[in-house]
Amino acid sequence: MPDTSPDILRAAEMLLAVRHGAGPRAGRGAAAPADEAAAWAIQREVLRRMGGRIGGWKCATPEGKPPSAALLNAAGLRSSPTHWQVAPGGRIGIETEVAFRLGRDLKPRGTPWTREEVVEAIAACFPAIEMVASRYADMNAVPLLTNIADNIAHGGLVCGAEVPDWRSRDLNDLTVRQSAGGVVQVEKRGSNPAGDPLLSLTRLANHLHAFGLHLEAGQVVTTGSWTGLLFVEGGQRVVGGFEGLGEVVVDL
């Protein structure tokens, strides 16, 4: 059953008010969850009130560090190329990432899912751009659980074309490139800062079970920024992608 305790409902109301134009919060306020279960309950209550459904997940769960994950509203998933509305004179955060689409469910069972089993469950891999829009004036000034309650500042996800031969590629060694308005912001070769994106996906698959959730067929999982969080003003074309995996195009 959904958690509808007063603290969960107050937190959801505050975050929804910001989404509806109240302006970002200066501090954690009523949305400071007591634990991770409460953070997930706030996410789910916000999604319920928005009339949305879970279309996927974002995760950055490196080994030895606290998990950082959030659900994605299916309404915020788009295919590249696309347009994204930015408030006049405003800006939005941009992150280029590697994402996957599940081909089958990964439900709870007696033993954890292994990396190999999770890889077998993947139906597709593609580049993605996450649109980042925190409900806080400074997302770095609030604790991790507060950010998780706010879907880790998720604003939406733009998905590129599926890569047919992704299994033959080394996803730990890619060249990423991101530009805005024709100016290159990032171009470098390396790996996902959270580690192997497939291990991050595997940790997410097992971590969700503690909160009554699981990965489902058709859902998208994006596995963390390769470019860092860069803010871009409206009126520009953003292009992000990876050598060998293709590009994602968003007109702001």
* Structure confidence at residue 31 (pLDDT): 67
* Structure confidence at residue 63 (pLDDT): 67
* Structure confidence at residue 28 (pLDDT): 61
Given a contact cutoff of 8 angstroms between Cβ atoms, the answer to whether 206 and 76 are in contact is no
Given a contact cutoff of 8 angstroms between Cβ atoms, the answer to whether 160 and 247 are in contact is yes
The pTM is what?
A: 0.94
Per-residue pLDDT of the chain (252 residues), as tens digits, is 567 789 999 999 999 999 988 878 766 666 689 999 999 999 999 999 999 999 999 998 766 777 789 999 999 999 999 999 998 778 999 999 999 999 999 999 999 999 999 999 999 999 999 999 999 988 888 888 999 999 999 999 999 999 999 999 999 999 999 999 999 999 999 988 778 999 999 999 999 999 999 999 999 999 999 999 999 999 999 999 999 999 999 999
* Structure confidence at residue 26 (pLDDT): 67
Residue in 188, 60, 202, 208 with CA at minimum distance from that of residue 130? 60
Residue in 229, 179, 164, 191 with CA at minimum distance from that of residue 98? 191
Domains of the chain, each with CATH number or no CATH: 56-251 (3.90.850.10)
Q: Tens of pLDDT along 28-69?
A: 666 689 999 999 999 999 999 999 999 999 998 766 777 789
Q: Tens of pLDDT along 5-28?
A: 899 999 999 999 999 888 787 666
- Label residues 102-141 b or e (16+ Cβ within 10 Å = b): beeebeeeeeebeeeebeebbebbbbbbbbbbbbbeebee
Token pair in block for residue 252? 């702001």
* Structure confidence at residue 38 (pLDDT): 95
Mean pLDDT taken over the chain? 93
